[in-house]
Chains A and B, each alone.
Chain A
Amino acid sequence: MVRYSLKRLFQSLITLFIIITVVFLLMRLMPEEGYFGSGYEKLDEAQKEAVLISMGLRDPLHIQLGNFYKALLSGDLGTSIIYRPRVPVAEILKTKIPYSLYFGLAAMGISLFAGVFLGIIMARSRSKLWDKLGTGYIVFINAVPAAVYYLFLQLYVTDILKLPILFNPDKPISWILPTVSMSLGSTASYAMWMRRYMVDEISKDYVRLARAKGLKDKKIMVKHIFRNAFVPMAQYLPTSLLYTISGSIYIESLYSIPGMGGLLVDAIQRQDNSLVQALVLIYSSIGIIGLLLGDILMAAFDPRINLQKKEGAR
């Protein structure tokens, strides 16, 4: 298993290298006026050239790329150019990650618990009341764009429950609504998949055998069905756990939380090259590591899954 993971990690390094280089080059294709923001009209040609040179954008591409990788290898993510000029990227992330991490983790905890629980209840009461209520909820959350229902939650729930409408780090009560709204979507998806997998498992032979042996229904559900139904879901856990630092664009801008949500989009729109590169590096590493951890977790849950290629196997 260790050898397998190392090999996959090494392969991912190459992928990562390609991704970063492509993104690096794509950012260089962006229109040059983007680097000046609103001040574009006011500068004359010579001043513009001077700004571009000071940003290092007039160097040949391979030198820019070389400098970037040199800095990266010594652990330097670079300094922001436009977003917060001359502030190290690591510094920017340090102030933003904790907020997103808190909301992400709390929302994930809630939705994992609530979603799996709802899924189990739905699977146990197939086509009865709970199943129908749960399906209604899942349909609603999946079909209505998040932008819309987040907005209505903020609008009316704050009215009804007298909660503050904006986030304030010093007021714990203002943390509640963002966390809850953020967990709604993933609760629905956990419940949906949990129900699907549970229902698929229930009709299998080993469940019938367990029942024939005289096992209690509850015990079959928990020890047998749940464990097997959870395996396919295990794949997504590490990725979603790691991605909690990326924050939610909608939630964070709605409640004005100073987190990571939208930072990437913001950085791209302002063409802050070094910030974009650093973020892409972080996010794609998270994605790749999450996939690997997911596979390992899946194999841990279900000993029948073998990740390594055996002799004679395809």
Chain B
Amino acid sequence: MSNKKVNKPSNTINKKLFEFAEYDDKAAKRAGYSNYSYWRSIWQVFTQNKIAVFLLILIALVLTFTLIQPYLPNQKLPTKIYIDEDTKMQLRNHSPNMEFWFGTNSIGQDLWARIWSGTRTSLLIGIVVSLWEAAVGIIIGALWGYVRYLDRIITEIYNVINNIPTTIILILLTYIMRPSLTTMIFAMCMTGWLGMARFVRNLIVIIRDREYNLASRCLGTPTRRIITRNLLPYLVSVIMLRMALAIPAAIGYEVFLTYIGLGLPVSIPSLGNLINEGRALMMVPSLRYQLIFPAIVLSIITISFYVMGNAFADAADPRNHI
């Protein structure tokens, strides 16, 4: 018996067939090209939602208005204390009237100006924090979910950071850096990405071993390409939803921090500060406007972002368009 006669199948196979193919953008496009655009399609679905479009216009108007408000004629300064000409007393707690549209607060500052200045501050915090959260959260979450040897390490790091009370970190930071807008944003960025990272990680774990990823791995696709081309596009809708929620959440968190006494210094008006000031006066019915006005503005902004985010997430879900 000799084995020589048996022709090993591997001898007859063309070795070239087993070499990794180079990725060729042009060839890929030739195979399945159409002028379908994902983002254009999202826009089409999004504009079908009348409420979302209305809120989009509303929020665009609010944003523009907060930006140009200080430059409009006849605007009061948010931090200036107004004095009554006749009595030389501060204009304390004046109900809304023609001069002070939203009234004045307990030391005679104009609430109308303070609310818009506060909206500017709060929106700035919300937008910066949520962008940072998205960027860092998605990158770390994707690596955490996809790269196996990182899983144990990042899980441990997550457990530790997640269980250290944020208040300690915040107090330490304000001690080191002094309370200011930068400190606040920095502190919220430090801890904000955790939730996003875990969220992305869980979603990636669910889809990372699907067949199409297995196929990509077999073809030798680099990790970065698998993450950016195979995994993340599947998650656009849910990630968008979370990002849209991140802005109201950051603003709500700022209100919370002010509530427990770790917020911005009183000299910087923000929606959190204003609501906190208003809270103290709510037992006096005639002064409730000081809480109601900032609360209404805050609610309009957060609800708009929430609804728009939902509508956008729905639109970004490929199941909802062609």
Listed in ascending order, the chain A residues whose CB lies under 8 Å from chain B are: 15, 18-19, 22-23, 26-27, 29-31, 139-140, 142-148, 151-152, 155, 249-250, 262, 264-265, 268-269, 276, 280, 283-284, 287-288, 314
B282 is contacted by which of A140, A155, A276 (Cβ under 8 Å)? A155
| Residue from the set B167, B168, B260, B307 with the largest chain A CB neighbour count within 10 Å | B168
| Interface SS majority for chain B | helix
Q: Give chain A residues whose Cβ lies under 8 Å from the Cβ of B288.
A: 155
Establish whether residues B303 and A143, one from each chain, have CB atoms under 8 Å apart when the complex forms: yes
Q: Give chain B residues whose Cβ lies under 8 Å from the Cβ of A314.
A: 148, 209
B275 is contacted by which of A19, A147, A288 (Cβ under 8 Å)? A147
Ranked nearest first, the 10 interchain pairs of A and B with the lowest CB-CB distance are A145-B252, A284-B163, A143-B306, A143-B302, A143-B303, A19-B163, A268-B167, A145-B255, A15-B159, A144-B299
| Residue from the set A30, A249, A265, A284 with the largest chain B CB neighbour count within 10 Å | A265
Q: Give chain A residues whose Cβ lies under 8 Å from the Cβ of B248.
A: 142-143, 145
Complex CA–CA separation, A249 to B256 (angstroms): 10
Q: Shortest Cβ distance from B221 into chain A, in angstroms?
A: 18
Number of inter-chain CB pairs below 8 Å: 103
Listed in ascending order, the chain B residues whose CB lies under 8 Å from chain A are: 148, 156, 159-160, 162-165, 167-169, 171-172, 175, 209, 245, 248, 251-252, 255-256, 259-261, 275, 279, 282, 288, 291, 295, 298-299, 302-303, 305-307, 310
Q: Shortest Cβ distance from A144 into chain B, in angstroms?
A: 5
Establish whether residues A148 and B160, one from each chain, have CB atoms under 8 Å apart when the complex forms: no
Establish whether residues B164 and A26, one from each chain, have CB atoms under 8 Å apart when the complex forms: yes
Complex CA–CA separation, A314 to B259 (angstroms): 46
Complex CA–CA separation, A248 to B144 (angstroms): 32
Q: Shortest Cβ distance from B202 into chain A, in angstroms?
A: 10
Establish whether residues B303 and A148, one from each chain, have CB atoms under 8 Å apart when the complex forms: no
A165 — nearest CB in chain B belongs to which residue?
Answer: B283
Chain A to chain B contacts (Cβ below 8 Å), 23 pairs: A15-B163, A19-B159, A19-B163, A19-B164, A23-B168, A26-B164, A26-B168, A139-B303, A140-B303, A142-B248, A143-B302, A144-B298, A144-B302, A144-B303, A145-B256, A147-B259, A147-B275, A148-B275, A151-B282, A250-B259, A264-B167, A265-B260, A268-B167
Q: Shortest Cβ distance from A166 into chain B, in angstroms?
A: 11
Establish whether residues A268 and B168, one from each chain, have CB atoms under 8 Å apart when the complex forms: yes
Q: Give chain B residues whose Cβ lies under 8 Å from the Cβ of A142.
A: 245, 248, 306
Q: Give chain B residues whose Cβ lies under 8 Å from the Cβ of A265.
A: 165, 167, 260
